[in-house]
Structure formats: structure tokens, C-alpha cells
Amino acid sequence: MNGYQTEQVFAQESDNDLSQVVIPLLKGVIYRDENPPQWNDLLNLQSRVRDYVAVLGLELILDEAEGYAFLRSRPDDDEEQGARLPRLVARRRLSFPVSLLLALLRKKLAESDAGGGETRLILSRDEVVDLTRVFLPAGSNETRLIDQVDTHLNKIAELGFVRRLRGQEKMFEVRRIIKAFVDAQWLAEFDRRLAEYQQEVTGQQELTGENEGSDE
């Protein structure tokens, strides 16, 4: 085999290695603990990955400390005017209950980190229900509340922010990637919306109480 053929083989193997990393990233998140060999390949090839996905209008978000990596669309400001690319990573508009639960889980993770305990945050379904109960109107139907929490947890699991423990369907691990999406600015904005929501709920409860009193 001559030098030119050797270069061709090397280039082909290198491209294959790159594909083995980029394709999973285009499908979702790569976690260090789920696939250590793939994670190591990503670390070794991250410069090439960044260059490759940049052509697609994407950027690589890689957190070595937390052990996750994903792709997101570059901010519109970085795109040349009149030459905007189709968005490959869709933006998802979340319902208020799902946003509420995400914020509560993010705060719970921050509290866990501040306490210096386990790096993994494991919560039961009942603990998640307790987190949300305080933000709901008094007298909310318990069975309906649990069903709603299950629905919202399924959505959040689908988005990759929590995962069920194997063999324990009612136990959830809060994935640390939630920190990359629910940052301090997001929480501050959500806290403002939450305060408005609580005022609205309180007003509805007071109005209900007045109506009940007038019927006596």
C-alpha cells in the first residue's frame, strides 16, 4: 500500500469516527455515564465536531464536569443577514405546568448541590407531587393531581431532563443537563410569572369564598 492509499484509509477511518459521534448528537444528548467510549471519542474529536456542526448552523455544548453534550442552534445574531439556515434543532414551547415542574426540579438540584450531598438527585413520584402541591389551589383533587404529575413527568422524561430508575417506575433521577437549560435568568423570569400565577389563584380562592358566603 502506497502513501496515498494509506492517507485515504486514514481519512476514511477518521470520517467514520466523526460520524459515530455526530450522528448520536444530532439525535439527542450524549452522556458520559451511559457510553464512556463514545464520550471519550467526542472529547478527542470535539474540535472537528464543532467545525462540522457549525456548517449546519449548530454549536456543540459540552460540559466535561457534568458529563453531557448536546447540539443547539446558534443564536440568530451569528447568522449572516439574508442567509439564514433552516433550524435543525426545534424549539419547544412548554406548558406552564411543565415549566413549573422543571423550575422546581432545577431548584431542588441546586439545593442538593449546596448541601454537598450525593451528586445524583433521586426523587420519588410522591416527593414530586409534594413539590407541586403548594402551588395549586387548596382542595385540589389528589387523584387528579397525581395523574397530572405523572403526565408532566412523562413529558420531562421525553425531553431528557429526568429518567426513571430501572425496575423502579416511581423513582426518578433528575439529569444534570437540566442546569444547561434552566439557568438563573430563566428561573428569575419564571419566578415573576409564578408570583403572578399565585396572585391569580389567591384571587380566585377569595372570590370563591365570597360567593359561598353570600349563599348562606
Whether 118 maps to a domain, the answer reads: yes
What are residue 63's phi and psi, to 5 degrees?
A: -115, 100
CATH of the domain at 151: 1.10.10
Say what the pTM is.
0.66
Task: Provide CB contacts within 8 A for 96, sequence distance 6+.
Answer: 193, 197
Q: Give the C-alpha separation, 209 to 201, whole Å.
A: 12
Whether 89 maps to a domain, the answer reads: no
Domain that holds residue 19: 14-78
Pairing verdict, β 30-31 and 68-73: antiparallel
Domain boundary among 47, 78, 109: 78
Q: Please report, for residues 51, 62, 158, 159, the alpha-carbon distance to residue 17 in angstroms, rounded to integers and kept in the order given.
A: 15, 18, 28, 27
Contact 100, 132 (CB under 8 A): yes
Each residue's pLDDT tens digit, 104-159: 898 888 888 888 767 789 999 999 998 888 776 666 677 888 888 899 999 898 88
Give the type of residue at 61.
I
Domain count, the chain: 2
Contact 157, 101 (CB under 8 A): no
Each residue's pLDDT tens digit, 171-185: 999 998 998 888 777
Whether 3 maps to a domain, the answer reads: no
